[in-house]
Amino acid sequence: MLRLAVPTAIAPDSLAGFDPAAPIITLSGLTMGTRWQVRLAHPAGSADRAALHALIQARLDRMERALSHWQPGSLLMRFNRAAPGTWLHVDEDLAGVLHHALAVARASHSAFDPAIGRLTDAWSLGSRRHSAPPDSATLAAASTASGWQRLILEHAWLRQPGGLWLDLSGVAKGYAADAVADLLAAQGLRHALVEVGGECTGRGLRPDGDPWWVDVESPPGANLAPLRMALHQLSTATSGSYLGLHTIDPATGQPGRGHGAATVLHRHGAMADAWASALIVMAPAQAHAVAVRENLATRLVDPSGGEWVSPALAAMME
């Protein structure tokens, strides 16, 4: 039986610009090594498709130039290469992503860490490829050089303490989905579903009055009733071991093995993304306790296919 998760109330300001006669159009492209897609209500008189596509792509390209650990000339990679003691002036995107990332790093007691770039590099999750998995000595050295506690961010200035590498892949796509939704809203288009590499942000309503629905993916072999979420002024992100090696446990330097999948709903895409990355590496009991403490709307699926739904998500399913 299909299960539905819906917000307990409709945000009054989300109805601004609602047009039941507006057609839904779809735009898509490439960013951050993955695809982006936007479905939006497009009232008559709005900017044409080509102009909107160009605006979205330009916004995503600007974010990539700041946040990418694949582009050698990105702002992030300039920080990673900077000499010890260097203060680097960062743009609004890098500062914004770090604001969310550090909030989750603190609240998760380092289960999420945006400064483990040397560990992700050791596991060939960056631009470099290694011929074999890292040995214990390599992991120990990478762990010693890592850690968000070494970062100092003051206003728009970020200090390189020496040898610290950022990797924002666990938060950047959620941030990007929100940024595109904000860009559309600035154009008067407040009713849209934005997806960047699987992380989604929904604003407003569909022209038929329904919310933007997103089906939650389950790991292969998990015999779970389908779950559909209403993304009304909400974002969602999923992290899962079944998606391949992509999440490293900062505490061990090893791939996270706590759960088969972690899905989080949050009003901020970056927070949903970072919390999903944090919960996936925690032991089940710890992840449950953290989700309850932080009032996270969360679904966790363990490797055997068992499901746990947080109280905040359960309330949306009643």
**CATH number of the CATH domain containing 279:** 3.10.520.10
Which residue type is seen at 21? A
Residue 244 covered by a domain: yes
In three-state secondary structure terms, 254 is coil
139: domain range?
A: 75-159
Residue 177 covered by a domain: no
Query: How many Å apart are CA 75 and CA 172, to the nearest integer?
Result: 14
CATH no. for residue 97? 1.10.3980.10
pLDDT value at position 202?
97
Q: Which of 243, 81, 252 is nearest to 170 (CA)?
A: 243
Specify whether 152 is located in the same domain as 234.
Answer: no
Q: Which of 132, 159, 186 is the last residue of a domain?
A: 159
Number of Cβ atoms within 10 Å of the Cβ of 132: 7
Residue 139 covered by a domain: yes
Output the CA angle 100-104-107, nearest 5 degrees.
140
pLDDT value at position 258?
61
Query: How many Å apart are CA 198 and CA 258, to the nearest integer?
Result: 21
Please list, in sequence order, all residues whose beta carbon lies within 8 angstroms of the beta carbon of residue 142, skipping any fewer than 6 positions away: 116, 118, 119, 121, 122, 134, 253
- 239-244's contacts with Cβ under 8 Å and 24+ in sequence apart are 239/170, 239/276, 239/277, 239/279, 239/280, 240/280, 240/301, 241/280, 241/303
Residue 215 covered by a domain: no
Output the CA angle 265-150-262, nearest 5 degrees.
20
Beta-bridge mates of residue 193: 39, 202
Q: Which of 113, 134, 159 is the last residue of a domain?
A: 159
List the beta strands (DSSP E) in 144-206: 152-154, 157-159, 192-196, 199-203
Q: How many domains does the chain have?
A: 2
Query: How many Å apart are CA 106 and CA 111, to the nearest integer?
Result: 9
Residue 212 covered by a domain: no
Residue 2 covered by a domain: no
Q: Which of 126, 159, 192 is the last residue of a domain?
A: 159
Per-residue pLDDT of the chain (318 residues; tens, 9 = 90+): 899 999 988 878 888 889 999 999 999 999 998 999 999 999 998 989 999 999 999 999 999 999 998 888 999 999 999 999 999 999 999 999 999 999 999 999 999 999 999 999 998 887 777 777 888 899 999 999 999 999 999 989 999 999 999 999 999 999 999 999 999 999 999 999 999 999 999 999 999 999 999 999 888 878 899 999 999 999 999 998 666 556 888 988 888 766 689 999 999 999 999 999 999 999 899 999 999 999 999 999 988 888 999 999 999 998
pLDDT value at position 128?
77
List the beta strands (DSSP E) in the chain: 3-5, 24-31, 34-41, 87-89, 152-154, 157-159, 192-196, 199-203, 213-215, 227-230, 234-240, 261-266, 297-301, 307-309
pLDDT value at position 304?
82
